Structures are given as C-alpha cells and as structure tokens.
C-alpha cells in the first residue's frame, strides 16, 4: 500500500486473511483506518485441531465444497495443499496458548468490526469473543445462520454491514 502511495487505508480479512489483517493492524497502527475481520482466529486450540483434522481429507468433503477449489487448483494439488495447510496451522498449537497473533491483539488501535457466522464449522464462537475481548473498542456482529463463507452466502447483509462500518 505504501508503494501504491496510500497513507492510510482500511483492511478487510477473511479466515487466514483476517489473521494477516490482525497482524498488519497491530504492527502498523498509524496506517490502518478501520478493519473488518470474519472467520478469523488469533490462536489454535485443541478443539480447533480436532476440527481441522476432521476436514483434512478433501475426498470426504461434499462435491459442492470441493469442486470450486478443484476447478482452480486441480484435484491433486488442492488435496496436497489443503493437507499442508492443516499441518501448518497445527504447528501453532505447540506455541504458548496456541498463539498465532494473540499477543498482538492489544496493539490494535483502529476501529474493528468482527463478523461471525454462528454456524461456522471451522471457527468456533470462542474465537470472535477472544478478538472482541482483546481488541480495544472492537465490536462484534453475529450472523445466526452464517457459516465460514458468510460474505458469499449472505452477501447483501455482509456488504451493507461493511459499507455502514467503513462509511462512518
């Protein structure tokens, strides 16, 4: 963003992209105006490891969930990449408190909107609660029917929330 000439900007991050946004906002508070994260976590718990291992084998996924990724990456590459992701994210569980960026959350000073789908199978509700607790002045919006891809499934509501938050 600096190379593009932006002095200040807002961040939106989903899932691992949300983790990236959290880290960027903590390390560059003077650059970030506002931030929206969804489907994101700052640590990996033993419960998370069980969830990740349960979806490790993509051949057991429904065709609806698997097909878009296989179309982009090819079936074999997607399967190998996903297994590598599970192996990679699991490494954080070995760190104190399973931290990915837990210790950085208090450094975030920009207004932050956390959106969470209450039916998210990948990110249990204790994760957005943790973000809310540790990011000063953050707020949480729960979507009762939302899952991990709530920005796609409920695009109109999601876009309205984000536009209202960024516009004020």
pLDDT digits (tens, 9 = 90+) for 108-159: 999 999 999 999 999 999 999 999 999 999 999 999 999 999 999 999 999 9
Based on the fold, state whether residues 29 and 62 are members of the same structural domain.
Answer: no
Based on the fold, state whether residues 39 and 64 are members of the same structural domain.
Answer: no
Q: Tell me what pLDDT residue 1 has.
A: 87
Catalytic residues: 15, 120, 148
Residue 51 is part of which domain span? 44-98
CATH classification at residue 150: 3.40.50.1820
pLDDT digits (tens, 9 = 90+) for 5-59: 999 999 999 999 999 999 999 999 999 999 999 999 999 999 999 999 999 999 9
Based on the fold, state whether residues 83 and 164 are members of the same structural domain.
Answer: no
Task: Report residue 168's pLDDT band, with 50, 70 and 90 as the boundaries.
Answer: confident
CA angle 92, 56, 154 (to 5 degrees): 90
What does the alpha-carbon distance between residue 15 and residue 129 come to, in Å, rounded to a whole number?
Answer: 15
Based on the fold, state whether residues 29 and 90 are members of the same structural domain.
Answer: no
Q: How many domains does the chain have?
A: 2
Q: Tell me what pLDDT residue 113 has.
A: 98
Q: Tell me what pLDDT residue 10 has.
A: 97
Sequence-distant (6+) residues with CB within 8 A of 112 are 25, 34, 35, 36, 37, 131, 135, 137, 138, 139
Based on the fold, state whether residues 35 and 103 are members of the same structural domain.
Answer: yes
Token pair, residue 20, equals: 């990236």
Q: Tell me what pLDDT residue 160 has.
A: 97
pLDDT digits (tens, 9 = 90+) for 53-92: 999 999 999 998 899 999 999 999 999 999 999 999 999 9
54 close to 132: Cβ distance less than 8 angstroms: no
Based on the fold, state whether residues 26 and 56 are members of the same structural domain.
Answer: no
Q: Tell me what pLDDT residue 135 has.
A: 98
């Amino acid at each position: 963003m600096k190379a593009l000439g932006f002095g200040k900007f807002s961040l939106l991050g989903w899932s691992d992209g949300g983790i990236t946004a959290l880290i960027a906002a903590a390390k560059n508070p003077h650059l970030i105006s506002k931030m929206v994260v969804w489907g994101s976590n700052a640590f990996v718990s033993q419960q998370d490891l069980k969830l990740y291992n349960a979806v490790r084998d993509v051949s057991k996924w429904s065709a609806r969930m698997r097909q878009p990724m296989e179309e982009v990456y090819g079936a074999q590459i997607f399967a190998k990449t996903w297994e590598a992701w599970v192996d990679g994210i699991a490494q954080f569980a070995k760190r104190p408190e399973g931290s990915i960026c837990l210790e950085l959350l208090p450094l975030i000073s920009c207004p932050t909107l956390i959106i969470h789908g209450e039916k998210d199978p990948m990110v249990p509700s204790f994760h957005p609660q943790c973000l809310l607790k540790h990011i000063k002045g953050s707020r949480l919006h729960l979507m009762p029917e939302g899952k991990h891809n709530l920005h796609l499934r409920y695009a109109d509501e999601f876009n309205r929330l984000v536009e209202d938050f960024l516009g004020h």
